[in-house]
Structure 1
Amino acid sequence: MASQQIARRMSILDVLTDSVREPAAIERISTWVRAGRLVAIRNAFWTDFAEAMHSALDTTDAWRLYENYSGEFHYRHHNLYRTADYPDALINCRELIDAPETKSWASSMTGRTCEDTVFSASLYLPGDYSLPHDDCVQTPSGSRQVAYIWHLTKGWDMGWGGALYWCPAHRYIQPSFNTLYIFNVNPRSVHLVTQVNHEAKAKRLTINGWWLGPDTQSGESCSATTTFLGDGALQAY
């Protein structure tokens, strides 16, 4: 799909698959995410939109390596953080995720106030990883309220590493294509990305970020159950 076609979409709701927009699905997502679960939405977006985003990330050469540490948190990964480095399709995607209708949808579903958006893309190459962290960060625009991670990886072998590990449920979640993960940020939303080994032949690609708002994390807890919920298309950990 050409970037001008994507630009005509007004919010992320215009590219979500119909099944995700059904009231029953929204109710399940809302119940799970408010309980502190990591919610996985398989085949979340229309295929042409997902393919356009994958192509934009797969073909760009603007990736930059970021490697640092803060206390016990260490990370190494490649990212597109600067808007000037974004392919046109990624600029349009950011506009959809930052749209007022999108933030209203996220607020009503998660119970969090979503007023601003942090947006970026990630590429994990061999040697890249991210140690455990909870995403609890305050910025001048507000604190991180809701995290979103849109996996856009094709042809991944679980032996290559690069799994998202959700600590509250002790679950390894393998990279996939067109799967959207959402969770409410709080001190127990601890997760990590395992190191990608040097045998990896594919690109671990994601679009990820947070919706920001007033600090409402105090007193909230994250479910530590290992129960696996869902029917294949919609799941929670």
Structure 2
Amino acid sequence: MPESSYVLAPACVFRPGPDATVVALVGRRAFSLAPRVFQTLAAFACPRTIAAAHATLAEFGSPAELAATVAGLVAEGLLVDERTPAVAPAAWPTSLVEALDPAALARKDDIAAQLAAGRAVVIRDALRRDLAERVGAALDAAVRWRAVEAFGSSPHYRHHVLDEADPAGPTIAASRALFGAAASRELAAALSGRDCGGPLELGATRYVAGDFAAPHADHKLARAVAFVWHLARDWDAASGGQFVWGPSGAQVVPSFNTLIVFNVAAETVHAVTPVSPYARGKRLSVTGWWSHGAATDEAPEPAGFARWGVGAASYGAQPLALDAARGLLAL
């Protein structure tokens, strides 16, 4: 019988970890890998037998020791025997009703009340983890980003959008179908109290050093409800790129699988602070709008606005934590 060949599990993705480690993610499980273990996995990026891999990993021990390491990695699902039928990734959800975290769906009434009051709702760990990992990994590997900018007009901005000829293009097309599904539009309409029957706008964005978005409201279009699905990993406030909510002055540091949703109106001014030239990591997101079924010059303003502070960054509804422990906030 021919010797088995092993290969990296197709659902396995990696991100940097602390202290020279690498974090491997398979489905909903995360593994912190020492450099030696990561190098062993990397040796099986293409199908190889243990004997063939040992030729480049001899310093890690004997073939028997390598075989024992491989057996452990197979048991954890990080490597697969090439002869074993591959397990297909979890099916792509048909709508946000399937994709959103059940805890967020259970708070629909709370979310609707805060959107009606003019707040932006921030949902941590918003979508299914396997879906976020799949989209995040595709954007992390993308290379065809195109700078778009506007200066001398309002609003001022500079950021990068994904050229959908990039290999990540089909993933974004699938995301567009997910957010644009009839059940997704119905959910957005129920939460926002808005007509969301018009065309969906959705694309992938990346903010690199110097990119920013000056305060703007997006209301002089047919846009009804805006969303930003953050997919940045290990991002911190020192890197810039915070989402700033003008009505309260609150700021949100991008974090992986965090969804921000708000009703579009003249009062819902928001911005993105400039990204630092010293930023590490990638500020990645999927951004879009559900629009009105009939074109309109201006969306109605949400109820509940009242000036409570001084200055341009302190008007509207005061920030409110709906349930910080469960990752649901209102700005």
What TM-score, normalized to structure 2?
A: 0.65
Gap change, CA 1:212 and 1:187, over 3 Å in 2:
same
Aligned residues: 229
Partner of 1:135: 218
Structure 1 gap segments, 5+ residues each: none
Quickly say closer, same or farther: Cα 1:58–1:236, change in 2 above 3 A. same
The residue aligned with 2:228 is: 149
| Structure with the higher fraction of residues in strand conformation | 1
Q: Write the letter of the residue equivalent to 2:255.
A: S
Residue matched to 1:227: 319
Counterpart AA for 1:103: R
Query: Is it true that 1:64 corresponds to 2:158 in the alignment?
Result: no
- Aligned 1:42-191 pairs, distance under 5 A: 42-69=124-151, 71-80=153-162, 83-85=164-166, 86-115=168-197, 116-138=199-221, 143-191=222-270
SS of corresponding position for 1:118: strand
Give the whole-Å Cα distance in 1 for the aligned partners of 2:120 and 2:302.
15
Q: Is the 8 A contact 1:6 1:89 kept in 2?
A: no
Structure 1 or 2, whichever has the larger Rg, is 2
Which of the residues 186, 189, 194 maps onto 2:273? 194
On the 8 A contact 1:187/1:221 being kept in 2, the answer is: no
Alignment TM-score, normalising by the size of structure 1? 0.90
C-alpha deviations, 1:168-200, integer Å up to 9, x for none?
Answer: 011111111111110000000001000001000
Q: Say if 1:200 and 1:222 are closer, same or farther in 2 by CA, change over 3 A.
A: farther
| Structure 1 Cα separation of the partners of residues 130 and 301 of structure 2 | 41
Give the share of equivalent positions with the same residue, in percent: 34
CA RMSD of aligned residues (A): 1.9
Q: Could you list the per-position Cα deviations for residues 92-143 of structure 1 after superposition, in whole angstroms to 9, with x for gaps in the alignment?
A: 11111111110011011110000120001110000100101001132xxxx0
Partner secondary structure for residue 154 of structure 1: coil
Separation (CA, whole Å) in 1 of partners of 2:317 and 2:152: 29
The SS at the match of 2:247 is helix
Residue 18 (structure 1) shift: 1.3
Q: Which whole-Å deviations, capped at 9, do the CAs of 1:17-70 have from their partners, x for residues lacking one?
A: 111122xx0000000011110001111111111111110111011111111136
- In structure 2, the gaps of 5 or more residues are 1-10, 13-87, 306-315
